[in-house]
């Protein structure tokens, strides 16, 4: 009887393991940019000669969507082994301690749009398994200090309120065979002084660099339902 139970446990444990190598072959990622800037952004993120790409512009332009799709594509093709998701959370000083739950649960309200995209390619069980295995990692910006990410795709989302020290710390986390997408909407920046994204983009605009690049999205790049566009027109956002 004891042997049967042990055998059943081993059987169940084997069937509870996600075979990521097999899953990489399913649901191949076809990225379909809807305008020229989205296409440029996608191509730069896929370019092996580029390491860090900034996507700057208003909400609804596909900055995060395209970055997540590229991350999944590179993972499925074996170019990266991990997808790292980070952003300033809750407030500019990232005080997460008072929130209940695990780190992933604390970050859930701010990462939900990213996971909406991931669910197009992975089911809930697979995503959970990938988080448990560290293949998908959710890390508030403050938790990135002292780490180096190798063979990873790092998505730093909504970075318009990062400080200069936070931005420097983030950009120096990239390791060999890794790529990073940094997104933000400068018009939505609440931090007027010591704004890391604003300052770095200003400096980047003045230089010709080989491994870093920037794509600027405009209001005309917003891809949303026509009714939403009309609502935003009333509010003066587009």
Average of per-residue pLDDT across 153-168: 94
Average of per-residue pLDDT across 60-79: 95
232 pLDDT exceeds 80? no
Higher-confidence residue of 36 and 236: namely 36
Closest CA to 155 of 50, 37, 69, 33: 69
Q: What pLDDT score does 8 carry?
A: 41
Q: What pLDDT score does 102 carry?
A: 63
Q: What pLDDT score does 188 carry?
A: 85
Alpha-carbon gap, residue 228 to 230, rounded angstroms: 5
Q: 3-class secondary structure for 133-184? A: CCCEEECCHHHHCCCCECCEEEEECCHHHCEHHHHHHHHCCECCCCEEEEEE
Give the lowest-confidence range in 107-111, 125-129, 150-154.
Answer: 107-111
62 pLDDT exceeds 80? yes
pLDDT per position as a tens digit, 25-35: 555 788 989 99
Q: Give residue 127's pLDDT band: very low, low, confident or very high (50, 70, 90).
A: very high
Higher-confidence residue of 37 and 6: namely 37
Instruction: Give me the phi and psi of 216, to 5 degrees please.
Output: -100, 120
Burial of 70 (0-12, 13-18, 19+ CB in 10 A): buried
Identify the sign of the CA torsion 32, 36, 38, 40: positive
Alpha-carbon gap, residue 163 to 35, rounded angstroms: 31
Average of per-residue pLDDT across 54-65: 94
Q: What percent of the chain has pLDDT over 70?
A: 79
Average pLDDT of the chain is 83
In the beta sheet, which residues pair with residue 209?
none
Instruction: Give me the phi and psi of 155, to 5 degrees please.
Output: -105, 110
204 pLDDT exceeds 90? yes
Query: Is the overall model pTM greater than 0.95, yes or no?
Result: no
Q: What pLDDT score does 71 carry?
A: 97
Q: What pLDDT score does 117 carry?
A: 93
Q: What pLDDT score does 26 carry?
A: 58
pLDDT per position as a tens digit, 80-122: 999 999 988 644 444 545 445 566 666 666 788 899 999 999 9
Q: What pLDDT score does 25 carry?
A: 55
**What are the structural domains of the chain?**
28-235 (3.40.50.300)
Q: Give residue 7's pLDDT band: very low, low, confident or very high (50, 70, 90).
A: very low
pLDDT per position as a tens digit, 171-182: 999 999 999 999
Match 């739950």 to its residue by tokens. Answer: 101
Q: What is the side-by-side order of every strand in the sheet holding 52-56?
A: 136-138, 82-86, 152-156, 179-184, 52-56, 212-216
């Amino acid at each position: 009887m004891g042997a049967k139970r042990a055998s059943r446990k081993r059987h169940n444990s084997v069937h509870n393991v996600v075979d990521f190598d097999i899953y990489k072959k399913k649901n191949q990622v076809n990225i379909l940019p809807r305008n020229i800037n989205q296409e440029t952004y996608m191509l730069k993120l896929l370019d092996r000669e580029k390491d860090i790409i900034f996507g700057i512009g208003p909400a609804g332009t596909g900055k995060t969507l395209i970055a997540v799709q590229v991350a999944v594509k590179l993972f499925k093709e074996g170019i990266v082994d991990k997808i790292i998701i980070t952003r300033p959370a809750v407030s500019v000083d990232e005080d997460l301690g008072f929130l209940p739950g695990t780190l992933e649960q604390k970050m859930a309200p701010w990462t939900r749009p990213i996971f909406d995209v991931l669910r197009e390619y992975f089911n809930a069980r697979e995503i959970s398994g990938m988080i448990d295995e560290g293949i998908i990692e959710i890390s508030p910006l403050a938790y990135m200090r002292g780490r180096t990410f190798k063979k990873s795709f790092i998505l730093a989302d909504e970075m318009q309120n990062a400080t200069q020290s936070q931005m420097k710390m983030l950009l120096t986390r990239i390791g060999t065979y890794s790529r990073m997408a940094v997104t933000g909407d400068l018009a939505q920046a609440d931090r007027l002084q010591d704004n890391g994204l604003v300052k770095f983009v200003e400096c980047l605009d003045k230089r010709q660099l080989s491994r870093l690049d920037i794509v600027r999205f405009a209001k005309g790049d917003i891809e949303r339902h026509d009714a939403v566009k009309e609502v935003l027109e009333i509010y003066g956002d587009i």
